[in-house]
Every structure is written in C-alpha cells, then in structure tokens.
Amino acid sequence: MSENSNNTTFMASPQLFFTSESVTEGHPDKICDQISDAVLDAIVADDPMARVACETAVTTGLVVVIGEITTMTYVDIGTIARDVVREIGYTRGKFGFDADTCGVIVSIKEQSGDIAQGVNAAKEQREKASEAELDSTGAGDQGMMIGFACDETPEYMPLTIMLAHKLTRRLSEVRRDGTMSYLRPDGKSQVTVEYAYGEPKRVDTVLISTQHAPDITNEQLHAEIKEHVINAIIPAELMDDDTKIYINPTGRFVVGGPLGDAGLTGRKIIVDTYGGIARHGGGAFSGKDATKVDRSAAYMARYIAKNVVAAGLAKRFELQVSYAIGVARPLSVNIETFGTGVVPDEKIIELINKHFDMRPAAIIRELDLRKPVFRQVAAYGHFGRDDLDVTWERTDKAGILRQEAGLT
C-alpha cells in the first residue's frame, strides 16, 4: 500500500508494512554513480564553473564514460575510473572485475549551446537586464524535485531506508576490516518495517544479499552475517520472534559486480533518496554539476524539509518544486504535511519563501555547491548523511522557522 495514493493512509493506518532497499558501493549501478561523481569532483576542484553531465556504464571487463562537459581544465577520466574501481575493491580478476585490466572507453563532448544559453543567462535576465544578479543563472532543465523529512530517526529520515543503508555500509566495513574478508564488493539489503499510525513499531523482515568467495559455506555465511552485520545494526528492541531474516536467498552469490550484471549511472534513484516513502521527480543526481536542478534543487528541497521538521512545524513533510529550462525562479512550490502540521500550510509556505531562495544560483551559493563534495554521497544515500558535513543536511534555519511560526 502506498502512502502516496492517499496522503493520509500512512498516518491513519493501524498496521502498514513498508520496505526500502540499499546497495553497496560495489553494486554495478553504484560503481557508475561513483565514477561519474569522481569525474565531476575532479573537474570542479580545478574549475568550479564547469558544466558537467557525466554518465557511466559498466559491464564485464569494461567501463564506458560518456556525456557533455564544458570546462577550462583537464582531468584523466580513464585514470579516475580505474581509481574508483580499485578503491571499491575490484582489484583481482577472480572478483569478476579488475581495475588494472578492465577496458575504459571515454566519449565526451561539449554541452549543447542551446542549453548553455539558458543556463548562462536566465530568461528573466535576458529579457530584463536590471533583474537581480541571482536571476542570471537559469535552471539547466525542466522538471520537478522532491524534498522529504520526518522525525522517525535522528537523521530526520525514514527508518526503513536508514536501516537498509546502515546494513550495506556494515557489509563494506566487515569486508574491508577483515572481519569477513571472504565477502566481495557487491551486495544489497532490504528492510521492511511495520508501522502503526505513522510510527515504526518493529522490523518485520531483513534481507541481505552479498557477493562472497566460492569456498564459503552457507552455514558460515549465514551465521556471520547475522552476528556481524544484522545484530550489529538492527536495534534488538525492534526485532522479535516473528522477524524474518533472509541471507542470500538464492543460496549462492559468487558471480557479482559488472560480471554478473551491467550497471548505469542514475539507476538507483530511490536508494539515493528516501527509499520510496516519498515521491520522486525522476531525475538522477550523479555526474551532474550544481546548475542541474535535478541535483541542486533536490538538495535544497531536502534542506528545506529537514529544517521544517527540525523546527517542529510538522512531523512529516514533503515539498515539491518545479522548474523550466532557462528560467531561474521555480514555477511552483507545493507542500504536504500528511496531517502532522502544527501551523497552517500557508504559514509554512510563507516561511519557506521568506527564508529559502530556490533560484539555481542562490541554491549553489547557499549550499556551497561549487566544491568537490559529490562522490562522498554517491553511495549509501545523498540524504540523512550525518556522518558527513554536507550543507543540505544542516538544520541551521530551524530556530528562526520555529520562532517566526510562534512555537517558541
């Protein structure tokens, strides 16, 4: 049952099961996201004003990097791609992929002049030169972006996706630190939480699928995954005798990574965001510089949503913002509090418009997005990253929102 089919269902249901998934950094699609964002970071580190739209594909023994990049600097994309693959852990042929022997094909061209015209000088600026300087950067494309936050977790994220991410990160930790050295980089998790009236009550199901060496028995794998991964992450009070645990349910996961499946940039957009519990505009993040509102406006929408919830204006909050290519100001702003708002929606929108500037250039300035900060969020989620000092996760405006809403 989807809460988005009826915005009151999730909060009104006495029993509702919701599932989110995560993937490790060695998943084929996530390899691609990380390569694309590593290329982006390398470019903006030297040329902050570069325009980057970098896509990656991987398959058996091959990395392909394509896209449109306009920059004054040079980076060795082939070396960057190999370095990412190596850092992830694909360093030997028996793992199914090898950073030093895989082929790398690069095909890059400049950004379309038609698009550049819209981004370089927004429609408002072209038509009226006296407009404010921040109107001089138009949106890089049309589209709608979603921001979401809730008070289920300290990170203001849904419990389902936070547990799923923590499980996959733990898989990587025990592989890298030698606790379970027979694991390989590819893996997935899935967590189902039972909710009652919008509150998480228990973990109903945990699913772990992880690539492993061929000589490991199922018995050893199951026992050690449960001990070192599941029990280390899932709080004991959320587990009970009815909690179902599945570990490598096919019985074997030796062939993985690009050998087992092709990968593409931007194919894990729900993993990257809110685990399916919020709507999604459809745009991917990785490989795109901050003039692309698919990325920057989604980050701003999350920043707004998190501050609204942190301020206590709502327990659950979703924001949609839409843009037209070459136009700086959003076409629309819509909010949903799922019946949890403590002040009228009109007041929340008034405060958002007062304290958050959603023009692309203003977003870039406010969130400081001309820096190489993107690869670090290309795996394990772009949001809820309290382990990183990313600007869109700050709650520095919660106080003023709460004060002006009359809650203090």
Q: Which residues are catalytic?
A: 27, 29-30, 55, 68, 188, 253, 261-262, 267-268, 288, 292, 294
Going by C-alpha positions, the residue among 305, 287, 263, 343 that lies closest to residue 90 is 263
Residue with tokens 């998480």: 200
Residue type, 204: D
Q: SS3 for 228? A: helix
Residue type, 38: A
Are 289 and 40 in contact, with CB atoms under 8 Å apart?
A: yes
d(CA 171, CA 192): 18
Are 10 and 338 in contact, with CB atoms under 8 Å apart?
A: yes
Burial 318-328 (b: 16+ CB within 10 A, else e): bbbbbbbbbbb
Q: Is the dihedral of CA 148, 150, 153, 154 positive or negative?
A: positive
Residue type, 26: G
Residue with tokens 């996530």: 30
d(CA 364, CA 80): 25
Are 80 and 43 in contact, with CB atoms under 8 Å apart?
A: no
Q: SS3 for 351? A: helix
Task: Give 246's contacts (C-beta < 8 A, 6+ positions apart).
Answer: 205, 206, 207, 208
d(CA 211, CA 26): 9
